[in-house]
Amino acid sequence: MPIVFAAAANHAPGITGRRDNAFPEQREVFFAAYAELRARLERARLDALIVVTAEHWTNFFLSNMPAFCVGLGESHVGPVEDEPFLKIPQARVPGAPVLARSVVDALGEAFDVAFSEELKLDHGAMVPLHLLVPSMAMPVVPIIINCLAQPMPRLGRCWQLGQALRAACATRPERIGLVCAGGLSHWPATPRSGKLNVEWDRAIVDALLAHDRQRLCAISDEEIVRDAGPGGHEIRAWAVLAGATDGEDGEVLCFEPIPAYAVTGAVVDMHVGGAGAVAAPADRLRDGSLPT
Ligand SMILES: [Fe+2]
C-alpha cells in the first residue's frame, strides 16, 4: 500500500547529547515539533519504518563504501556511540527482513543497492528513533547513504531512489512510514562546528516542500561544501524524501537555528497519511498494476 507517513528531521548528536545546551525557548519549539511528529507517526499505525540516513564511518570505510545500503537484519544494534555522549541507551531495534528484501528486490529494477544483515545504527537513525519511537519496538529498515566520501551519489540519484522506494512500498501489504534524517548545513568535527547557514537551510526546506527537483538536484558538491560545510552532503536524505513524496503537500513543524546542536532544527511532515497517501505512479509499479 502507499506510504502512510513521511517526514524529514535532523539527527545531530547534540539534539540528545547536549539537549539542555540550547536556549529554553528553542528547545521548547524543537522538541514540541518532534513530539507532534511522534503523535502523527503513532496515528499512522505503522507496521514498519524505513529510516534513511547518512553513513558516519560506522558501517563502512574507504575500503568499501556503497552509495546506498539497505539493512536486512532481523534486528539492528545501536547506537554505537557511548551512552554518556549521546544520552541514548543501547538497544536492539527489530528489523523487518521480509520487507527489506522485498525493497531491495524491487529497487533492483533501477538500483543495484548494497545490502547488509549486520548494519549497526548510530546517531543518524537512533536520534530520530529515540524521539519518535522511544520504545524502540517498531520494526525498522535502515537505509544508509554515502554522504562522506567522493564519489557520493548525486542528489538527482537520491531523488530517484525516493521515487523507487515509493514504488517498492506501494506493492507491499504493510503500513510503511519513511523518515529521512540528515543535517542541513553543518561543519561537524571542524573548528567551525556550530556555524549554520540559515538562508541555505531554508532554501533546502523550501525546495523539498515544492518538490523542486531542478533546484534541489542542481546543487553541486562544491557548492554544498562552500555553503553548507561537509555535513551539508546529508541533504541527500532530504532529496530521497522529496522524490518519495513528489506532488504531496508538506508542513514545516519547526525551523529553528540551534547552534548548540550545530544544526538548524528542522522537522518537516509530508501529508501522506490520509486520502492522499503517497501512491506510486502506475507506470512505476513492477507488475504494471495500479497501487491499492
Ligand atoms: Fe550526520
Which pLDDT tens digit goes with each residue over 52-69? 999 999 999 999 999 999
Compute the distance between CA of residue 113 and CA of residue 135 in angstroms, rounded to an integer. 29
Decide if 284 is inside a domain.
Answer: no
Contact criterion met (CB below 8 Å) for 231 and 185: yes
Q: Separation of 276 CA from ligand 1 center, angstroms? A: 31
Q: Separation of 241 CA from ligand 1 center, angstroms? A: 16
Which distant-in-sequence residues (6+ apart) come within 8 Å of 226 by Cβ? none
Q: Separation of 123 CA from ligand 1 center, angstroms? A: 8
pLDDT along the chain (292 residues), means of 10: 96 97 97 98 98 98 98 98 98 98 94 97 98 98 98 98 97 97 92 93 96 96 97 97 96 96 96 63 39 36
Say how many CA atoms lie within 13 Å of 196 toward its Cβ: 20
Q: Separation of 194 CA from ligand 1 center, angstroms? A: 14
Decide if 286 is inside a domain.
Answer: no
Decide if 292 is inside a domain.
Answer: no
Maximum C-alpha span of the chain: 53
For residue 291, cis peptide bond before it (omega within 30 degrees of 0) = no
All residues with CB under 5 Å from ion ligand 1: 54
Q: Which candidate, 206, 108, 223, 102, places its Cα nearest to that of 154?
A: 223
Q: Separation of 108 CA from ligand 1 center, angstroms? A: 26
Helix, strand or coil, per DSSP, at residue 148: coil
Decide if 91 is inside a domain.
Answer: yes
Decide if 116 is inside a domain.
Answer: yes
Contact criterion met (CB below 8 Å) for 240 and 156: no
Q: Separation of 292 CA from ligand 1 center, angstroms? A: 35
Q: Separation of 289 CA from ligand 1 center, angstroms? A: 38
154, burial (CB in 10 Å: exposed 0-12, middle 13-18, buried 19+): middle
Decide if 158 is inside a domain.
Answer: yes
194: left (phi over 0), alpha (psi -120 to 50) or beta: left
* 140-145: strand order across its sheet: 114-116, 68-71, 140-145, 48-54, 176-181, 5-9, 263-270, 250-258
Residue 86, all three cell numbers: 549521546
> Residue 196 has what pLDDT?
95
Decide if 285 is inside a domain.
Answer: no
Q: Separation of 234 CA from ligand 1 center, angstroms? A: 6
Decide if 105 is inside a domain.
Answer: yes
> Residue 264 has what pLDDT?
96
> Residue 286 has what pLDDT?
38
Q: Separation of 107 CA from ligand 1 center, angstroms? A: 24
Q: Separation of 235 CA from ligand 1 center, angstroms? A: 10
> Residue 274 has what pLDDT?
62
Domain containing 220 equals 5-279
When divided into structural domains, the chain yields a total of 1
CATH number reported for the structural domain that contains residue 158 in this entry: 3.40.830.10
Q: Separation of 1 CA from ligand 1 center, angstroms? A: 30
Which pLDDT tens digit goes with each residue over 2-39? 999 999 999 999 999 999 999 999 999 999 999 999 99
Contact criterion met (CB below 8 Å) for 127 and 15: yes
Contact criterion met (CB below 8 Å) for 27 and 20: yes
Q: Separation of 283 CA from ligand 1 center, angstroms? A: 34
> Residue 285 has what pLDDT?
39
Residue 236, all three cell numbers: 541527500
Residue 161, all three cell numbers: 531512489
Residue 227, all three cell numbers: 555553503
